[in-house]
Amino acid sequence: MASISRTKIVTLIEIILASQLPSDAFLFNPEIAPATFKFLLPLRVSHQSDEFYFDVDYGSNNWGHDCFVVTSFPGSGPLENEGYASGWDEVVGWFENWIESVKAELTQPDPYSLLRGGSLLANQVPMDLEGELFDSTDSQGLHEFINSIRQFVISEENPTGTETNSIDERLAYLERAASRLTKQDWAHLAYGEIFTISMGLGLDTDQRERLQSLTLNFIRRLFRRLLT
């Protein structure tokens, strides 16, 4: 049965510390004892909150060569990653990628939280004003609102060219939709599109709340003249 030295495990700990994730959330199996200099494989590093894991064992690859066998979740997609590493440096590279995946998962916005925010916006749409259309004053305000959303996203996230194009397409669609939808229908479409943009960019809690606030304030202005 293969074993690894304490020094090699320390390298993994240093990567966790450098990630700035709470180190006490990571668990090692077998447990790292101060007086132990070597640890038998398999080794599992897991995160206590979401069943994320990184397993290292020693075995053979498809060609019968001895190597480290690495299995981890989350991977690059919805399934776990599995592969072979000829040396420990390669295992460390896999571990760094795994930590980045865990970090991304833990910092993504909670989709249910965003949905609850969408419900708050929906509650601002008066149900007794069905059929009201945009007029020229509303359209001018809509254009300013669309620009404010774009400026906010670009200044906060500095999106890539591809992300910027996608955001521009969604915002242009949202502005065009006002010419064929009632205010009520448009308002529901708007918070759905803002939800999609928030999810796609992985905005943090503060950014989501500010983006929702911009949308909520515009929806309130949209119906204010009709309610007074």
Q: Where are the alpha helices (DSSP H) in 108-160?
A: 111-122, 136-157
* Alpha carbon distance 72, 94 (integer Å): 9
Name the DSSP class of 127: G
Show me where the domains of the chain are located: 3-107, 111-227
pTM of the model: 0.50
Each residue of 77-117: pLDDT tens digit?
556 788 899 999 999 999 999 998 888 777 765 554 545 55
* Alpha carbon distance 25, 17 (integer Å): 11
Tally of CA atoms within 13 A in the half-sphere of 226 that contains its CB: 21
Regarding predicted confidence, which is higher, 124 or 178? 178
Regarding predicted confidence, which is higher, 83 or 64? 83
Confidence label for 199 from pLDDT (cuts 50, 70 and 90): confident
With contact defined as beta carbons under 8 Å apart, do 71 and 80 qualify? yes
